Structure 1
Amino acid sequence: MPDNWRKVEKITSTSLLPTYSSLALKMHKLLLRLGQYSRCSMAAREADRNNKQQYYNMSLDHLLRGKVYIEELPPDIEPIKMLLEKYSGIRAKDVDEHIYRIRERLWQIYPHVCIGHFRFLSLKFTLDPLYRVALDRLTTPRSPSNFLDVGCCVGQVIRQLAFDGINPSRLYGTDLEPRFLDMGFDLFMDRNKFKTAFVAGDMLEGGEGDESLKALDGMMSVIHATSFFHLFTWENQVRVAIRMVRFLDPDDADVMIFGRHVGATTPGDREGAGGSKRYLHNAESWQNLWEEVGRLTGTSWRTEANDIEEPGMNLHSIADGTLRRVRYGVFRA
């Protein structure tokens, strides 16, 4: 194999692609547009996908398999396999085939590492201590707390909460890509029985996308957003954080936002794929961000940010040792 194509295989790298083949560069720019606004899907915009579908079909297998697309199911999805058996009623011997079938359909919508590596099936959020706090909030009889998962992809967080005993009428999810919301019903086989509110909308834009999200304003006590903030510049992080504040119940002193994202020991802009800018935080800069949000919204916030140590973490963009996987929480001050 020519040296250049060995290098093209490193398509997940943020620094290598632009210097190699023109084909890789075109695909790189296309995937950047798709990967801009969500942990799994929020930037899989309909117009872009339709315009580029023919190009995907010709080049994806060639460029992406092995690095962005893996064949074997990873061991860390065992929890969702159990959920599919117990919640969805899929026989154990049929679960793997069902997952592969759904993954292939999702790949046609959004050919990115979160799909190719089965990350849309992750239930690691259940390991977060703030997940237990959220469960307590949602099950307490003292108030009808509501929960929103931002960038919810196929709604695995919502289904886990329902399985853990939360009334589905108190669970909400939003994502930019409505086809992912719809695909969640096929993954969990609950289209005719799961009654909760999934809303397609863009956290960054006004107009019609924002109009659909207005229905959720002032309703939420708990918001979850994982692998979300690290996709944006500081300015756009402020915008999505302000949008989240609007979702929260203004009369609830105990509202909470929690999740996880990629951070850095030294905060600041990092250059991503295709020259995109994304701001990565440490604990101090995370608090500073929410102080700015507070000034702009007339609110006050305190934050938590703690590094997560997990075996086999692949942050695959900067090899200088500064990147960290971070659990965070945001609370009224």
Structure 2
Amino acid sequence: MSVPPQPATASDGTTIPAWYASQRSVPLDPSLYAPAPDELAFYKGQTRITDEDELKAHVLKVQRDAYEVWPYPCIRRLAFTKLKISRFPVYEEVLKLGRERQGAILLDLGCCFGNDARKAVADGFPASQILASDLRSDFWALGHTLFKSTPETCPVRFVQGDIFSDAFFNPHLAHPHSMEAISACVDSASLSPLAKCASIIHASAFFHLFNEPAQLALARRLNVLLSNEPGSLIFGSHRGVRDGVPGERDGRESFAHSPTTWRAMWEDATRGDASVQVEAWLSDFETRPMSAEDVKSVSVDENGVPLHPGSWLVWVVRRA
């Protein structure tokens, strides 16, 4: 008789749920390291490691260390080697906001190593206007290892905390808009000073970590963080399902939305605010740039469930 998976303890003393803990015993697969030419060029430039074998060994070492912190599937798949943020259709819009809107702030939520934030900086978004945040500061520290940087040499600022905790972000507190909101967040070790100040919020491979009620609560909190200025946006991607397919996910106590249920959730989260526009579609974001046309080519099994490497729900929430 097989023994059901058991919870484990993470390095920070928190409990790793049984499904995630069971993944630790599965050997990592180095063949999944397959950066595209532009991704390889980015990592060579950021790490200053030009030898490709040396770079691969360096990346895989960081992957192993990160997998011990918390065995997320995205770390197993080396998703951090993909230039994910730049594959989104709204990416040029993001860079334009950074260029043209005075003091535009980009919040990279669930930032892990900070690879997406660093990519935005490399493409011209002002580093002083980016704030990265994650539940686990160990991942941010490993980002410094990965990119051979230090807190002093990395221009992107970081704040650690739990977005669901009122001690870290209290959506009920009113904060005056400030051009120094990022500094205030760092100084207070919270996101509360960022309320209504974030022009852009990026949150990928994040919502699908939670169950359906928690995702609604998260959407409500992000809506409070987002600036009311027209053109402000929240975007990202996570595991998705076709309309009509149940959204429960393989024992992880998490939920996969379809485009229709995702739009309905945001209508609830914003209380039907007509100024909020939501776009959502299914796509395989890791193999090609994403577009709404991708929904027509999603591969599913006999039950209509997207196949591995799977279909991802790609979405944009925008203030009109």
The question of 1:48 aligning with 2:35 is answered no
Q: Higher helix fraction: Structure 1 or Structure 2?
A: 1
**Partner Cα separation in structure 1 for residue 146 and residue 41 of structure 2:** 13
| Cα offsets for 1:273-295 (capped at 9, x unmatched) | 4362414222x322211111111
**Partner Cα separation in structure 1 for residue 242 and residue 104 of structure 2:** 35
The question of 1:111 aligning with 2:74 is answered no
Compared CA separation, residues 76 and 229, structure 1 to 2 (3 A): same
CA contact (8 A) 1:269 1:277 kept: no
**Paired position in structure 2 for 1:264:** 241
| Cα offsets for 1:33-90 (capped at 9, x unmatched) | x9xxxxxxxxx682236999xxx7xx877x312xxx2122432455433212113322
Compared CA separation, residues 112 and 64, structure 1 to 2 (3 A): farther
Superposition map of 1:32-71 within 5 A: 46-48=12-14, 63-65=25-27, 69-71=28-30
SS at match of 1:266: coil
Superposition map of 1:190-269 within 5 A: 190-191=149-150, 192-208=152-168, 212-250=190-228, 252-267=229-244
Q: Report the Cα offset of residue 117 of structure 1.
A: 2.2
SS at match of 2:13: helix
**Partner Cα separation in structure 2 for residue 319 and residue 231 of structure 1:** 25
**Paired position in structure 1 for 2:304:** 321
1:286 counterpart letter in structure 2: W
The question of 1:26 aligning with 2:21 is answered no
Q: Report the Cα offset of residue 157 of structure 1.
A: 0.4
- Counterpart of 2:83 (choices 94, 109, 123) is 123
The question of 1:331 aligning with 2:291 is answered no
**Paired position in structure 1 for 2:146:** 187
RMSD: 3.2
CA contact (8 A) 1:232 1:279 kept: no
SS at match of 1:274: coil
2:269 counterpart letter in structure 1: V
**Partner Cα separation in structure 2 for residue 312 and residue 259 of structure 1:** 16
**Paired position in structure 2 for 1:146:** 105
Deviates more, 1:259-268 or 1:163-172: 259-268
SS at match of 1:64: coil
CA contact (8 A) 1:233 1:277 kept: yes
CA contact (8 A) 1:200 1:213 kept: no
**Partner Cα separation in structure 1 for residue 51 and residue 32 of structure 2:** 14
**Paired position in structure 1 for 2:181:** none
Compared CA separation, residues 166 and 60, structure 1 to 2 (3 A): closer
Q: Report the Cα offset of residue 186 of structure 1.
A: 1.4
Using CA pairs below 8 Å that are at least 6 residues apart, which structure has the higher relative contact order?
1
**Paired position in structure 2 for 1:172:** 131
The question of 1:86 aligning with 2:45 is answered yes
Compared CA separation, residues 50 and 26, structure 1 to 2 (3 A): closer
2:162 counterpart letter in structure 1: D
TM-score by length of 2: 0.77
**Partner Cα separation in structure 1 for residue 255 and residue 132 of structure 2:** 24
- Counterpart of 1:72 (choices 18, 28, 31) is 31
Compared CA separation, residues 171 and 50, structure 1 to 2 (3 A): same
Q: Where do 5+ consecutive residues of structure 1 fail to align? A: 1-19, 35-43
CA contact (8 A) 1:290 1:302 kept: no
SS at match of 1:125: helix
CA contact (8 A) 2:210 2:253 kept: no
Q: Report the Cα offset of residue 134 of structure 1.
A: 0.6
**Partner Cα separation in structure 2 for residue 112 and residue 243 of structure 1:** 23
TM-score by length of 1: 0.75
Q: Report the Cα offset of residue 105 of structure 1.
A: 1.4
Q: Report the Cα offset of residue 110 of structure 1.
A: 1.5
Identity %: 25
Aligned residues: 285
CA contact (8 A) 2:84 2:116 kept: no
- Counterpart of 2:283 (choices 305, 308, 313) is 308
Q: Report the Cα offset of residue 243 of structure 1.
A: 1.3
Q: Report the Cα offset of residue 316 of structure 1.
A: 11
**Partner Cα separation in structure 2 for residue 162 and residue 328 of structure 1:** 22
**Partner Cα separation in structure 2 for residue 307 and residue 208 of structure 1:** 32
